[in-house]
Amino acid sequence: KGIYYANNIVVATGFYDIPFLLNVPGEELPKVTHYYKDPHFYAFQQVVVVGANNSGVDAALETWRKGATVTMVVRESGIGERVKYWVRPDIINRIEEGSIKAYFNSFISAIEPHQVHIQTPDGPVTIPNQWVIAATGYQPDFSFLQHLGIQLSDDGVQKPSYDENTHETNVPGIYLAGVVCGGFNTHRLFIENSREHAVKILSHIAAKKIS
Ligand SMILES: Cc1cc2nc3c(=O)[nH]c(=O)nc-3n(C[C@H](O)[C@H](O)[C@H](O)COP(=O)(O)OP(=O)(O)OC[C@H]3O[C@@H](n4cnc5c(N)ncnc54)[C@H](O)[C@@H]3O)c2cc1C
């Protein structure tokens, strides 16, 4: 612990720290994770993947390719439209050929240590299960931004207030970089198109120092 003094602060906290929860009984079990890492860990085991966007699709394909039995539970009617165009046909074909089972328009109703209960359009289904990868997305820590005095838009996006040219927020000396700039629009900014943030911020700080 200590007190640090700075003339400028750059907040680049991203949005992966707060997952959207399933809010179902059993979500607190250690077999449930919102953070997918190593596919080998799941080899030859029964895995449920919740969600069908980039993270969920990657988890389903990679764990299946390492020998897991994979079931996807997707509340929408199909695989997400924003899934990378070279990956989307792969998952659709694996589902169509029956290698990966997918329940669309469906959601998990409860998780137990050795099984998962799923509500499907054809009624409730219970399947044996060892691991649940909940790839349900994340949200930025808006309360942290507000605590710093940064204003958020009230249009539902909660986009932080900052100057697009300098990335300085409404709080002088506090800058935003990376995905956190987008509010709930977390898909609009990624590595490639966030690099310019650093240039804008450092140019502005350097100019302040000279003047
Ligand atoms: C499966 C997957 C595949 C992806 N593929 C690509 C790709 O191919 N190309 C691409 O451009 N993007 C890709 N992305 C997106 C990319 O990962 C993000 O856009 C990028 O990481 C965002 O960078 P960031 O610096 O804004 O935030 P992050 O990388 O999330 O970094 C935020 C950092 O801040 C820390 N932090 C948070 N809160 C605090 C706090 N209060 N105090 C201190 N530290 C804190 C976090 O621990 C973390 O280290 C992918 C993402 C996923 C999930």
Domain-wise residue ranges, the chain: 9-17+138-210, 21-134
Identify the pLDDT of residue 34.
96
Q: Which residues pair with 137 in a beta bridge?
A: none
Q: Which CATH superfamily is domain 9-17+138-210 in?
A: FAD/NAD(P)-binding domain (3.50.50.60)
Ligand 1 pocket, mutate which of 143, 176, 190, 193 (most atoms under 8 A from CB): 190
How does strand 107-111 pair with strand 101-103?
A: unpaired
Question: Per residue in 49-68, pLDDT tens?
Answer: 999 999 999 999 999 999 99
Query: What is the number of other CB atoms lying within 10 angstroms of the CB of residue 67?
Result: 13
CB 148 less than 6 A from any atom of ligand 1 = no
Query: What is the number of other CB atoms lying within 10 angstroms of the CB of residue 98?
Result: 8
Ligand 1 pocket, mutate which of 9, 10, 16 (most atoms under 8 A from CB): 16
Given a cut of 70, the residues of the chain with pLDDT beneath it are: 210-211
Residue bearing the CA closest to ligand 1, atom 48 = 13
Question: Per residue in 99-121, pLDDT tens?
Answer: 999 999 999 999 999 999 999 99
Identify the pLDDT of residue 74.
98
Burial class (CB in 10 A: 0-12, 13-18, 19+), 155: exposed
Q: How far apart are CA 78 and CA 92, in angstroms?
A: 9
HEC readout, 136-180: CCEECCHHHHHHCCCCECCCCCCCECECCCCCEECCCCEEECHHH
Check if CATH label 3.50.50.60 holds for domain 21-134.
yes
